[in-house]
Amino acid sequence: MIEIKNLAKKFAVENPKKLSEQEKKDPRLKGRFFHSVLDVSFKVNQGEVLGLLGPNGAGKTTTLRMLSTALQPDQGSVDINNVNVLKNPLLARQKIGFLSGSTGLYGRLTGRENIEYFGQLHGMSKSGIESRISELSTMLEMESFLDRRSETFSTGMKQKTSIARAVVHNPEVVILDEPTTGLDIMATQTVLDFIRSLKKSKVPVIFSTHHLGEVEELCDRVTVIDKGISQFDGSLQEFKNQAQDGNLHGAFLATIQQGEL
């Protein structure tokens, strides 16, 4: 299980004059600091998939980067199986597999070499890495391009390789930041099937998305973040109940509107 409590993160604004009018009106702007995340809490149990929703700029990516230890939170805790991983970033990186929306591959390396490198960083044995790459290559349908240099990859190939690289060490929790953005239908289906396989293996998954169809198809739980605050955290059915007709689009809008009251 992973449990996040009261995460918060602010950033210094170097030049307030360069802020857009929308940014100047954002209530999270306080003096020379922008409080990207004010108070975010949620939890995911073993074998559950949580969909992280929110408008652009809500604080979702900042939250996920704190979970991955790429950012140090100003306050809050992240517990994985009752261990506070923020107190030990090295332990957190062992337990978490994180796919960022912006991390690129090493273009001169093949897909296999990119994955091998991350396996080595995690201290895996050569045989363990080879076995895991074989497994992931089949699951993510990578056989046709695994040994090509990644600078020649399509968007879908890059995303599959990035996912394999993130989970090569068999993490206890997997965090995916918009994993299907920019993918075609076939690549998207492969990624969604991979998330299902993680769920079947009882690995908790947190993934952010703007595609409500993916939420309905995969998720057990939903968390909605708006203006740096978790406005909803509950089961998929409880989220549907936010709208009279059970429509996810209506439930999302109703949750955001309630947070603005």
With beta carbons less than 8 A apart as the criterion, state whether 41 and 214 touch: no
CATH of the domain at 209: 3.40.50.300
Domain count, the chain: 1
- Residues 6 or more apart whose Cβ sits within 8 Å of residue 67: 2, 4, 78, 96, 98, 175, 206
What predicted TM-score, i.e. pTM, was given to this entire model? 0.91
Q: Which residues pair with 42 in a beta bridge?
A: 4
Residue type, 96: I
Tallying the residues shown for the chain, one arrives at: 261
Give pLDDT tens digits for 9-38.
999 998 877 788 888 889 999 988 999 999
Give pLDDT tens digits for 168-187.
999 999 999 999 988 999 99
Question: What is the domain extent for residue 226?
Answer: 2-260
Q: What's the pLDDT at 103?
A: 66
Q: At what angle do helices 155-167 and 111-121 cross, to 10 degrees?
A: 20
Residue type, 91: L
With beta carbons less than 8 A apart as the criterion, state whether 199 and 122 touch: no
Which residue, among 5, 74, 8, has the nearest Cα to 41 in the 3D structure? 5
Q: What's the pLDDT at 84?
A: 87
Q: Is 149 exposed, middle or buried (0-12, 13-18, 19+ CB in 10 A)?
A: middle
Q: What's the pLDDT at 261?
A: 58
The pLDDT tens digits along the chain (261 residues) read: 899 999 999 999 988 777 888 888 899 999 889 999 999 999 999 999 999 999 999 999 999 999 988 899 999 999 988 888 888 888 888 899 999 876 689 999 999 999 999 999 999 999 999 999 999 999 999 999 999 999 999 999 999 999 999 999 999 999 999 999 889 999 999 999 999 999 999 999 999 999 999 999 999 999 999 999 999 999 999 999 999 999 999 999 999 998 775
Does residue 259 sit in helix, strand or coil? helix
Strands 49-53 and 173-177: unpaired
Which residue, among 62, 69, 77, 46, has the nearest Cα to 172 in the 3D structure? 46
